[in-house]
């Protein structure tokens, strides 16, 4: 770990067309297709660390490894925001050796990411909202599948508590690419 205290932070989101990540009953995996997932592996490999939340670990038991085509020189570290120490000792995260898994025992995202130059957030709606509200997200990579989950589905960003539109975080779109049946939209934060 080297570099500036404030890393460049990418928030990766994978949703339905209407910005949902799960059904009301929690069913959520494989919303986006194989081409999107292949791109996510490349993105993981290009970041020094992946930050996730205990909600995601408990719901999905992800490995959070970078498995891009052609292999990966160095696996990114994994930071798990877990203030209550609920990460199971048998979690799939621990199966991959040769990388640093940090169970973060507080809720301060900036402190958790300090010391890294680049961090990719792959987490649920709560961590995504906290990171945006704290002004920590520089870039969003949004993978959108051509599927509708409806208003009873779980929104990709939890409550931001905005009271005026002037306070809304604003991004500018920097790219749109087809990933199989999905779209990948890239955004940079401007406010």
Ligand X SMILES: NC(=O)c1ccc[n+]([C@@H]2O[C@H](COP(=O)([O-])OP(=O)(O)OC[C@H]3O[C@@H](n4cnc5c(N)ncnc54)[C@H](OP(=O)(O)O)[C@@H]3O)[C@@H](O)[C@H]2O)c1
Strand partners, 15: 144
Query: How far, in Å, CA of 5 to CA of 128, rounded?
Result: 20
- The residue among 71 and 138 lying less far from ligand X, judged by its C-beta, is 138
Smallest separation, CB 178 to ligand X (Å): 19
Smallest separation, CB 62 to ligand X (Å): 8
Phi, psi (5° rounding) for residue 121?
Answer: -90, 120
Smallest separation, CB 32 to ligand X (Å): 8
- The residue among 10 and 56 lying less far from ligand X, judged by its C-beta, is 56
- The residue among 106 and 173 lying less far from ligand X, judged by its C-beta, is 106
Smallest separation, CB 48 to ligand X (Å): 19
Query: How far, in Å, CA of 66 to CA of 49, rounded?
Result: 10
| DSSP class of 107 | S
Q: Which residues bind ligand X (CB under 6 A)?
A: 13-15, 21-22, 26, 28, 52-56, 59-60, 81-84, 86, 107, 109, 122-127, 130
The residue number with the shortest CB distance to ligand X is: 124
Phi, psi (5° rounding) for residue 80?
Answer: -110, 115
Smallest separation, CB 23 to ligand X (Å): 9
- The residue among 98 and 158 lying less far from ligand X, judged by its C-beta, is 158
Report the phi/psi class of residue 91: left, alpha or beta, with left for phi > 0 and alpha for psi in -120 to 50.
beta
- The residue among 39 and 73 lying less far from ligand X, judged by its C-beta, is 39
Query: How far, in Å, CA of 165 to CA of 169, rounded?
Result: 9
């Amino acid at each position: 770990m080297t570099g500036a205290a404030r890393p460049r932070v990418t928030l990766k989101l994978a949703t339905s067309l209407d910005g949902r990540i799960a059904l009301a009953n929690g069913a959520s995996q494989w919303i986006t297709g194989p081409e999107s997932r292949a791109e996510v592996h490349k993105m993981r490999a290009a970041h020094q660390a992946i930050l996730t939340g205990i909600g995601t670990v408990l719901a999905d038991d992800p490995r959070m490894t970078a498995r891009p085509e052609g292999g990966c020189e160095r696996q990114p570290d994994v930071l798990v925001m877990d203030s209550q120490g609920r990460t199971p000792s048998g979690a799939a995260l621990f199966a991959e050796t040769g990388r640093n898994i940090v169970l973060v025992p507080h809720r301060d995202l900036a402190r958790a990411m300090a010391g890294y130059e680049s961090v990719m957030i792959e987490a649920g709606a709560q961590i995504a909202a906290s990171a945006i509200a704290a002004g920590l997200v520089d870039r969003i990579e949004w993978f959108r599948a051509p599927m509708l989950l409806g208003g009873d589905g779980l929104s990709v960003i939890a409550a931001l508590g905005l009271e005026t539109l002037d306070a809304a975080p604003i991004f500018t779109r920097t790219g749109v690419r087809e990933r199989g049946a999905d779209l990948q939209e890239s955004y940079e934060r401007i406010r």
